[in-house]
Amino acid sequence: MAALTDLSLADARDGLKARKFSATELTRAHVEAMAAARPLNAFITETPERALAMAAESDKRIAAGTARPLEGLPIAIKDLFCTKGVRTTAASHILEPFVPTYESAVTQKLFDDGAVMLGKVNLDEFAMGSSNETSYFGPVENPWRRIGENRSRVPGGSSGGSAAAVSGRFALAATGTDTGGSIRQPAAFCGIVGIKPTYGRCSRWGIVAFASSLDQAGPMTRTVKDAAIMLRSMSGFDPKDSTSVDMAVPDYEKALTGNIKGLKVGIPEEYRVDGMPKEIEAIWSKGAEWLKAAGATIKPVKLPLTKYALPTYYIVAPAECSSNLARYDGVRFGLREKGDDLTGMYEGTRGAGFGREVRRRILIGTYVLSAGYYDAYYLKAQRVRALIARDFANAFKDVDVLLAPTAPSAAFARGEKTADPIAMYLNDVFTVPASLAGLPGISVPAGLSGEGLPLGLQLIGRAYDEETVLRTAGVLEQAAQFNARPATWWKQN
């Protein structure tokens, strides 16, 4: 039998059900793999004792015949979800000592369904970044490297620890959050599946807030079926989140019929940006051919405002961030630096507690919301955002789903883009538009670059139509037959 850490979430679930192994054995295998993978720096806090205690409880339930949907399945939790009694840092110095006294809605649902928590995984500080290099706890390494190279590649961000843990096979699945691409881009960089559901599907309650009109949780897994299983458990109405949608959650696994005959797939012409690597164009065309071969119709569509999505995002997100992060004042939780007076304490605490990228975004956000500039920047961005959403609505009159690349390149090297914030922001060029419109998007591994790094394809669907997105993703996955896996160089010596 394959190693327990090589199983998909679905196969592990079925194996537990068939008593081929116990939840304790499955969890122990992952706890060991997690310890061996420390060179990747994917975890901020490991919780092996808790994991084994949860697994023991799962074994009891399985024996008693009262297993829940995710019973005994070890997963990693992005350290942006508050976990009761387990430190939650958002990868920031300012939250370094923070131990929540409550559980986030999404993690509560996962644990109520029997999932086992391995620990809290690394991310960009406050989820602000596209390479996991802004974490106070150090960068995460991508398990993948170029063929014949020892140079560290970034795992993408902000859910970089989640992506590395799933790709490196030391978690069966992980939670991520996506504000402008933070689930989809790291999934693409690490060769795994990541879905950002429609805004409002998963409760934001208990997730450390970055940009509240964009933040959305979602699963990161090695297969589309696993994503469907996780998403079902994570979704659902929550009265404690004012933008949570009160709508029944479908059984997403059932949506994976493999049948897309007659489906209309749109190819957004504006995503063919200047300087796009040939390999990305090639995999995109291949993706369209795969879907066509499965019976879909391929149609070009126009999303004329695509080029304005990033500038819009870099007003809306920092504005909301500056407002959300005002709560870190050294009074109620987190770090406190002494000051001569109250203002001195605020300024000292925040100056010492936030890293460079977070400070940059707080300052931009404060500026665009300040008196005299609010209309010119923030209101303008809100208007363009409305037009971007309208673009998508128009496109979805003609097609059922959109196909595009997830990111404009494969994983880049550590340090390659840290000097220029705009170069870093451009990574999100294909993921930000759907975020602004609140639409569901998935990244599916589609192939390898010539240098041996994974490339992802993205599908974007209508609001609340995760089922079509997942079904189409399943067909892409089937056609791509992406079986490559990273060499486990971290286990050597």
- CA distances for 15 relative to 7, 180, 227, 474, angstroms: 9, 36, 18, 22
Least Å from the CB of residue 396 to another protein = 14
Contact track, another protein, 293-312, x by CB under 8 A? ------------x-xx-xxx
Least distance CB 320 / another protein (angstroms): 12
Query: CA-CA distance, 157 to 92, in Å (whole number)?
Result: 15
Q: Are 474 and 296 in contact (CB under 8 A)?
A: no
Residue 487 near another protein by CB under 8 A: no
User: Which residues are part of the catalytic machinery?
Assistant: 78, 158, 182
**Stretch of 226-234, 263-271, 361-369, 473-481 lying at the interface with another protein (CB under 8 A):** 361-369
Positions in 393-452 near another protein (CB under 8 A): 421-422, 425, 437-438
**Residue among 8, 45, 152, 213 that touches another protein (CB under 8 A):** 213
State yes or no: residue 239 binds another protein (CB under 8 A).
yes
Q: Does 243 bind another protein (CB under 8 A)?
A: yes
Among 52, 273, 298, 389, which residue sits at the site for another protein (rule: CB under 8 A)? 389
Angle between helices 105-112 and 224-234 (to 10 degrees): 110
Q: What CA dihedral angle connects 67, 69, 72 and 76, to 10 degrees?
A: -160
Please identify which residue in the block is written with the tokens 């019976």: 295
Closer to another protein by CB, 36 or 249: give it: 249
Binding to another protein (CB under 8 A) within 189-208 occurs at: 199-200
Chain positions 322 to 351 lying near another protein, rule: CB under 8 A, are: 322, 326, 329-336, 338-348, 350-351
What x/- string results for residues 141 through 180 when contact with another protein is judged by CB under 8 A?
Answer: ----------------------------------------
234 vs 245, beta carbon nearer another protein: 245
Nearest residue to 287 via CA among 86, 447, 431, 102: 447
Binding to another protein, residues 452-471 (CB under 8 A) = 463
In this chain, which stretch among 11-19, 63-71, 243-251, 475-483 interacts with another protein, using CB under 8 A?
243-251
What's the DSSP call for residue 20? Answer: S
Q: Where are the beta strands (DSSP E) in 395-470?
A: 401-405, 441-448, 454-461
Q: Confirm if 159 and 108 have CB atoms less than 8 A apart.
A: no
Residue 277 in contact with residue 139, Cβ under 8 Å?
no
Nearer to another protein, 85 or 450 (CB): 85
List phi, psi (to 5°) of 232.
-60, -40
Name, in order, each residue with C-beta under 8 angstroms of 192's C-beta and a sequence gap of 6 or more.
163, 166, 167, 220, 221, 222, 445
Amino acid letter, residue 261? K
Least gap, CB of 218 to another protein (angstroms): 15
Question: Which of the 8 DSSP states describes residue 270?
Answer: G
Beta-bridged to residue 447, according to DSSP, are 455
Q: Choose one: 105-113, 217-225, 359-367, 394-402; the region binding another protein (CB under 8 A).
A: 359-367
Residue 243, Cβ neighbours under 10 Å: how many? 14
Binding mask 255-294 for another protein (x = CB under 8 A): ----------------------------------------
Contact 76, 119 (CB under 8 A): yes
Could you tell me the smallest distance in angstroms from the CB atom of residue 190 to another protein? 28
Secondary structure of residue 445 in the 3-state scheme: strand
Whole-number Cα distances in Å, 425 to 102, 122, 375, 406, 444: 33, 20, 24, 14, 21
Give the nearest distance from C-beta 192 to another protein in angstroms: 26
Number of residues that bind another protein (CB under 8 A): 74
For residues 369-388, which are near another protein according to CB under 8 A? 370, 377, 379-387
Residues 7-46, one symbol each (x = binds another protein by CB under 8 A, - = not), give ----------------------------------------
Under rule CB under 8 A, which residues in 56-115 are in contact with another protein? Answer: 97-102
Binding residue (CB under 8 A) for another protein from 51, 255, 303, 362: 362
Phi and psi dihedrals of 455, rounded to 5?
A: -125, 140
If phi over 0 gives left and psi between -120 and 50 gives alpha, with beta otherwise, what is residue 196? beta
SS3 467: helix
Closer CB to another protein, 39 or 344, in the complex: 344
Report, in Å, the least distance between residue 437 CB and another protein. Answer: 8
* Residue list 106-145, contact with another protein (CB under 8 A): none
